[in-house]
């Protein structure tokens, strides 16, 4: 398959072998032996080639995404916390604007209970930072 650049279109005709410029026409250097396409045929062929390329790109991208998902799922592990582990507690409520607000509590907490072993929910009471480190 030949590739056709946009510079190859001149006067509604496309020379598939080399670019045809206005100076070639003036000097009579245009070779009529080569295959030339009318503008409409060129456009329809170009649309077909672009749609084929788009479909191939989509298929390749989907295949790569599937491979990446499989790799991630194979290596992903849940962080199992146990009673006594030191954790940071995420701040879920903000007052006013919070684009630059801290996303974690100021001091770490200790997990004291896991009410349901089937779900990742833990009880970690809030400790004030004025208390000496507890770990």
CA atoms within 13 Å, Cβ hemisphere of 122: 20
DSSP 25-37: HHHT---TTS-EE
In this prediction, residue 9 carries a pLDDT of: 46
Q: How far apart are CA 135 and CA 132, in angstroms?
A: 9
- What does the pLDDT average to over 25-42? 69
Q: How far apart are CA 43 and CA 83, in angstroms?
A: 69
Q: Higher pLDDT residue, 47 or 32? A: 47
Task: Report domain extents, the chain.
Answer: 6-75, 78-135
| N residues, the chain | 135
Q: pLDDT tens digits, residue range 41-72? A: 888 888 998 899 999 999 999 999 999 999 99
CA nearest to 121, candidates 74, 73, 87, 75? 87
Q: pLDDT tens digits, residue range 72-125? A: 999 888 778 888 888 888 888 777 777 887 888 888 888 888 888 888 888 888
């Amino acid at each position: 398959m030949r590739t056709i650049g946009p510079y190859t279109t001149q006067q509604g005709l496309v020379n598939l072998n080399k670019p045809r410029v206005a100076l070639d026409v003036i000097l009579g250097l245009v070779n009529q032996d080569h295959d030339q396409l009318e503008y409409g045929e060129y456009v329809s062929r170009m649309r077909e080639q672009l749609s084929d390329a788009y479909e191939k790109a989509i298929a390749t991208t989907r295949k790569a995404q599937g491979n990446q998902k499989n790799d991630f799922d194979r290596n992903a592990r849940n962080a199992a916390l146990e009673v006594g582990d030191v954790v940071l507690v995420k701040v879920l409520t903000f007052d006013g604007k919070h684009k630059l607000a801290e996303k974690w509590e100021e001091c770490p907490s200790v997990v004291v209970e896991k009410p349901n072993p089937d779900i990742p929910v833990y009880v970690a009471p809030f400790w004030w930072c004025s208390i000496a480190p507890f770990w």
